[in-house]
Amino acid sequence: MGATEQLAAFAIDTPGDFLDPGLVESVKEKFLDTIGISVAGAHSPAGRIAFAAIAEMGGHAEATIIGRADKSSSVHAGFVNGVSAHALEYDDNTRNAGHISACLVPGCLAVAEKLNLSGRELVEAFVIGFEISYRIGSGLKPFLFDRGWNPTGLVGGQGVAAASCRMMGLDKAATQMAMGIMASSGTGLRKNVGSMGKAFHVGNGVRAGIFAAIMARHGFQVDPDIIEGSDEGGGEGHQRFGLVDAFAGTGNYRADRMVGGLGGGFELCRDTTMVRMHPGSTVIGAAIDGIIDLAVSHDITAAEVDEIHVGCHPRMLAIASYTEPSDGYRAKFCPPYIFAVALIDRKVGVAQYSDYRIRDHDVLDVMRRIKVTVCDDLKDHRGQWGEGGINWGEARIAIKLRDGRVLRKDCATAKGWPGQRASWGDLCGKYEECTEKILSRAQVLETIEMIQRLPELASVRDLTRTLMTRSLE
């Protein structure tokens, strides 16, 4: 049995008795975090454009556009909500898999609302889809990234397809078809990182995953073993180029990560997800915390600073690679800008990426005093984050003051990362920050309460109803 068939069987045949308190708690945290960000992201430029596009196309009003007074088809709603979930670069990141919560939460919500499923059915499908996305991502990374792919849409979309098939009641064979259709549907290029294109990768992965399941339900046929390649035809024929060989390069994958021990535990129960407490590239979170901590603990101002040097892992500059914040998207991947506002504002939130802020002369002045370089002892570090001691987010900060003092701090982790997990209270605070100007106070409290008891909801529609902007209904 190949990887595609094993993953499809896992998606459909796993009995619904696997939920335990730790697993459920992890699911609720991801829904709270992702939904809150989606509400805010719905009113970002990317979110507004995505909504305008699907409004022009039309669609059956069967799934809620989060943070708006509108509904559309499950495919269109999933697309817009996926774009919104990633538009602010504020969603979580799971090691070895990427931003899969931003795919799975919108995708599962749209399908579950359409089908009027219970909260428990939604939670079960999310867990299954998350595990499949994690396993495919774990088997393909870092090879996908190194070959120029931004993998979230491709990896997350497979989880959405499998979860959708489970919720639709499809069989294993149909699920293999959905995974095959999805593999030809959702991709993303790294060149688009630092633009609206990165959020499109997520929305497109959600859209493609749901659509693939619908196509499979209607009997559309594709290769049933799309993940793995085959040596038929001498290894040079079409059979060779399944998902792993086509995207990562022949042999550049770890099949054992995809199916080894499948069903013996869930990644959601492991502490591998990084909640972003600051918008912007995940990899610079520890350095942001470190600079804010030094600024607060020593009560320093920008005028006192002669120079800031941040030593980092090479992956930091591969991911957050821009030196100038030309707009709010590139600013989130521009370390000098982010470190400058962290020092001045002692905070990096949504407001720090406004057009006004990225053109502020005081910020630009501090930027010129910031140097970010790869540490000599880290320059040869290769491999995936979290494996063999590899830490892409490691940062060594030195702030040289004009009075001659040098303030130093070595940072290995950030608030919200493994080892410093965000609490439910932290996530509620972030949720309120994201939703307070869009949903009423009563809605904010009601949605938090509903997510807290998500597995107990008789209908997912009870939750999605509260995520619409009532003043516009």
Query: With the C-alpha atoms ordered 43, 47, 52, 54, is the resulting torsion angle positive or negative?
Result: negative
Question: Phi and psi at residue 371, in whole multiples of 5°?
Answer: -120, 135
Q: Residue 473's pLDDT is what? A: 35
Low-confidence residues in the chain, pLDDT < 70: 233-236, 470-473
Q: Residue 379's pLDDT is what? A: 84
The tens digit of pLDDT for each residue in 136-178 reads 999 998 788 889 999 999 999 999 999 999 999 999 999 999 9
Q: Residue 85's pLDDT is what? A: 98
Question: Which has the closest alpha carbon to 12: 139, 173, 136?
Answer: 173
Element (H, E) at 81: helix 74-87
Alpha helices in 392-423 (DSSP H): none
Cα dihedral: 150, 155, 160, 166 (round 10): 180
| pTM (predicted TM-score) | 0.95
Residues pairing with 312 in the sheet: 374, 395
Question: Phi and psi at residue 308, in whole multiples of 5°?
Answer: -120, 130
Question: Which has the closest alpha carbon to 365: 285, 292, 308, 288?
Answer: 308
Distance, in Å, from the CA atom of 273 to the CA atom of 429, rounded to the nearest integer, reads 18
Beta strand pairing call for 305-312 and 370-374: parallel
Q: How far is CA 1 from the centre of its chain?
A: 30
- The residue type of 294 is L
Question: Which has the closest alpha carbon to 307: 373, 374, 398, 369?
Answer: 369
Q: Residue 186's pLDDT is what? A: 78
CB-based contacts of 201, cutoff 8 Å, min separation 6:
86, 150, 152, 153, 186, 187, 188, 192
Instruction: Give all domains of the chain, ordered by start, each with its CATH number.
Output: 3-274 (1.10.4100.10), 282-411 (3.30.1330.120)
Distance, in Å, from the CA atom of 313 to the CA atom of 185, rounded to the nearest integer, reads 33
Question: Which has the closest alpha carbon to 151: 206, 200, 188?
Answer: 188
Distance, in Å, from the CA atom of 95 to the CA atom of 93, rounded to the nearest integer, reads 6
What is the 3 state secondary structure string of 154-214? HHHHHHHHHHHHHHHCCCHHHHHHHHHHHHCCCCCEHHHCCCHHHHHHHHHHHHHHHHHHH
The tens digit of pLDDT for each residue in 134-143 reads 999 999 987 8
At residue 125's C-alpha, the angle toward residues 122 and 130, to 5°, is: 120
- Identify the residue whose tokens are 């600024």: 295
